Amino acid sequence: MPSLLARTRQLLRRFDLHARKGLGQHFLIDGSVLKKITTAAELSPDDIVIEVGPGLGILTSELCRQAGWVMAIELDSQLALVLKETLADCHNMTIINRDILEVEPGALLREHAASLPSPVNSLGYKVVANLPYYITSLVLRHFLEAAVKPRLMVVMVQKEIAQAITAGPGEMSILAVSVQFYGKPKIVSYVPARAFYPAPKVDSAILRVDLYPRPAVAVGDTRGFFALVKAGFSTPRKQIVNSLAQGLGRVKADVLPLLEKAGLDPQRRAETLSLEEWAELLRAYSEAKRAA
């Protein structure tokens, strides 16, 4: 059996294809990494999997072998046609030539519900994908904020992005807060650049996110929560009192009482706050707005 590298080169030659740098196309050629992805996803014949950016279908074919149904979302029209030909023997999949950011997961599931076997169509879904680096954050937010969320996400992302997402207070970012609000992220394994063809300039990581039944912290206004977090990170290197004042368009004297009510030292920085502290700050801010 040819290696994944040989298979990838063969497919590229056969269909006169080239990796499109603009779409962040780097094809996985390491079988051990492929196994780590599918193992982390804990696939079963009852699972619906949404794969973003299937590329040449190396991961897709393995997902089809282990899952009940696979929905492969491919933006590249030429690759979508190739997949329909090379994966013609996979009868438990749908290839969808669309931009994932323009596809509502719930609508997608409803649209294809009739073709899904029972009991597969009565369950939630999982996201398993080798994500293009340039849309990683957008894709994660797209699924995490969707009306119908996945139960689990196992995605290949840039190493530094995975580390940022799993960071704790002291090294938090807006991305870390936005992912940890909805689920528990964990780095499964680091993946060297040589595991892809063509090799990217950076290493990657397999990231697993187990979604919570409800957000990690109870907030009545999710949109308001993230607006406040965004304001707090508007100038992340400044003290929280100054960054919040700038982000909210308020004077420092207005922000100090909010921080005091939330029990937060105004000299701290946004990256040091935990999710619980952001939630407490939102409560103080909401109460102040109602009292105004």
Distance separating alpha carbons of residues 276 and 172, to the nearest angstrom: 13
Tell me, yes or no, whether 236 and 119 share the same domain: no
Whether 193 maps to a domain, the answer reads yes
Residue 52 lies in a domain: yes
Nearest to 227 by CA among 174, 169, 275: 174
Judge if 167 and 258 occupy the same domain.
Answer: no
Q: What is the CATH number of the domain that holds 127?
A: 3.40.50.150
Domain membership flag for residue 255 = yes
| CATH code (residue 253) | 1.10.8.100
Residues 157 and 229 reside in one and the same domain: no
* Res 81: pLDDT: 92
* CA distance linking residue 196 with residue 239, whole number of Å: 41
The pairing of beta strand 93-96 with beta strand 69-73: parallel
Tell me the pLDDT of the chain (292 aa) as tens digits. Answer: 568 888 888 877 887 776 666 555 788 889 999 999 999 999 999 999 999 999 899 999 999 999 999 999 999 899 999 999 999 999 999 999 999 999 999 999 988 888 777 777 667 899 999 988 888 999 999 999 999 999 999 999 999 999 999 999 999 999 999 999 999 999 999 999 999 988 888 999 999 999 999 999 999 899 999 999 999 999 988 999 999 999 999 999 999 999 999 999 999 999 999 999 999 999 999 998 888 6
pLDDT at 132: 83
pLDDT computed for residue 269 by the predictor:
96
Are 248 and 181 found together in one domain?
Answer: no
* Domain final residue, candidates 157, 191, 211: 211
Instruction: Note the pLDDT of residue 20.
Output: 66
Residues 100 and 171 in one domain: yes
Whether 268 and 173 map to the same domain: the answer is no
Residue 216 domain flag:
no
* d(C-alpha 26, C-alpha 80), whole Å: 16
CA gap 83, 188 in Å, rounded: 28
Tell me: do 41 and 82 sit in the same domain. Answer: yes
Examine the fold and report which residue of 173, 192, 211 is the final residue of a domain before the chain moves on. 211
Asked if the structure places residue 63 within a domain, the reply is yes
If asked whether residues 68 and 154 sit together in one domain, one would say yes
Q: 46 lies in a domain?
A: yes
Q: For residue 170, tell me if it sits in a domain.
A: yes
- Other C-beta atoms closer than 10 Å to the C-beta of 15 total 14
Query: What SS3 string covers the chain?
Result: CCCHHHHHHHHHHHCCCCCCHHHCCCEECCHHHHHHHHHHHCCCCCCEEEEECCCCCHHHHHHHHHCCEEEEECCCHHHHHHHHHHCCCCCCEEEECCCHHHCCHHHHHHHCHHHCCCCHHHCCEEEEEECCHHHHHHHHHHHHCCCCCCCEEEEEEEHHHHHHHCCCCCCCCHHHHHHHCCEEEEEEEEECHHHEECCCCCCEEEEEEEECCCCCCCCCCHHHHHHHHHHHCCCCCCCHHHHHHHHHCCCHHHHHHHHHHCCCCCCCCHHHCCHHHHHHHHHHHHHHHHHC
Q: What pLDDT shows up at residue 121?
A: 66
- Final residue of a structural domain among 185, 211, 237: 211
Kindly state the tokens that stand for 46. Answer: 């009852």
Residue-level pLDDT at 7? 83
Query: Do the beta carbons of residue 214 and residue 169 sit within 8 Å?
Result: no
Beta-carbon contacts of 130 under 8 Å, excluding residues fewer than 6 positions away, are 26, 28, 37, 53, 55, 59, 155, 156
Q: Which domain holds residue 241?
A: 222-291
The structural domain count of the chain equals 2
Q: Give the model's pLDDT for residue 24.
A: 59
Residue identified by tokens 């904020």 is: 145
- 97, 134 Cβ separation under 8 angstroms: no
